Amino acid sequence: MREVVVEADGGSRGNPGPAGYGAVVVDAATGETLAERAEYIGTATNNVAEYRGLVAGLRAARELDPEVTVRVRMDSRLVVEQMSGRWQIRHPAMRPLAAEARSVLPAGQVTYEWIPRERNKHADRLANEAMDAGARGEQWSPPAAAGPGAAAGAEDPGRSGARDGTDVRAARNVASAGPPPDLGAPTTFVLLRHGETPLTPQKRFSGSGGSDPGLSEAGRFQAERVAQALAGRGTVQDIVTSPLARCRETAQVAAARLGLPVRVDEGLRETDFGAWEGLTFAEVRERHPRDMDAWLASQDAEPTGGGESFAAVARRVTEARDRLLAAHAGRTLLVVSHVTPVKTLVRLALGAPPEALFRMELSAASLSAVAYYADGNASVRLLNDTSALR
């Protein structure tokens, strides 16, 4: 039986606003582009456009072979989870579109997989071409001079994508007032960096490969103040922490105030800084200048002695984030962690490049917050708030 991959996407410049979709059918064995579909559909939401792209892609696959096996890959978590039957379809406008998609091919012939947007560039480009055509008062048609293979490598310069293999629809609605009405309540991560340890004022590298210090007296005071502030807000429903002592202590102080249990997630631990553990930046610069320069220049470079690269930490934190989103959907979760994991979660939510890690200040016992919506969008609501400590 023939197997193909359908990659589909949709977009709306306004949500709702001028919208279009794109879909591509690819031979699963060879990677050859077999069909492309795109259309400007007028005013619609992102979600409607994404569903329209899915339907078009499935129909194109059926035209090639009614008995075909299809692997659908999309960067819309909403569509993937709803079509997989794991999420309910609440919005009435989505239900007929989902039913239409299910009617194209028997359920046993179609499976669904979420992918980050950077791996969905072909369909994304087609959707943008369709919207551009609509803005000119035209309908999309394939470029006459370029074949499918040439088209697959292009990217619309007017629409930013992910830079590092992580979740990428994050920045699309950062400035929006709230989620589209069909998405329901977001899952909110309240990100708390642990309180001070004896190493914090000395600005020494303190990761997951060092001495695992606990909170200092100042750190315990900070933890109490933040816990008091969180209790006053009354919004936190669950607590998860890094396994390292300074985070577990900070989390337990909050848990005592909030009356909640604490769960540990290994993915939230700090970077392993290898041979740099316990050293200051200046000491590392003096002893390992080449390694330090490489580390500052590339997310793939590791600290001296086999520590973790920023790319490795991003992968680990992304996996932890996705686990927590699945386990705490629609809830407000206090995430007690460290400088690098917290900054990484903020960076990924913004769709910012790796070097953004060096452009964020994150104080001990500071609060940040990110809201995640059911379609994969995210909104950074707070960064480095230390008002509870004043």
Q: Which residues are catalytic?
A: 194, 270
| CA–CA separation, 306 and 289 (whole Å) | 16
Identify which of 88, 78, 109, 63 has the alpha carbon closest to the alpha carbon of residue 8.
78
Length of the chain: 390
Give the DSSP H or E segment for 270. Answer: none
**Looking at beta carbons, which pairs linking 181-186 to residues 24 or more positions away fall under 8 Å?**
181/91, 182/45, 182/47, 182/78, 182/90, 182/91, 182/93, 182/94, 183/78, 183/373, 183/374, 183/375, 184/90, 184/330, 184/374, 185/330, 186/330, 186/371, 186/372, 186/373, 186/374, 186/379
For residue 244 the two structure tokens come to: 């390292």
Identify which of 19, 234, 230 has the alpha carbon closest to the alpha carbon of residue 134.
19
| CA–CA separation, 45 and 353 (whole Å) | 27
First to last CA, the chain: 67
| CA–CA separation, 248 and 55 (whole Å) | 48
| CA–CA separation, 168 and 163 (whole Å) | 8
Categorise residue 7: left if φ over 0, alpha if ψ from -120 to 50, beta otherwise: beta
Instruction: Tell me if 279 sits within 8 A of 204, measured CB to CB.
Output: yes
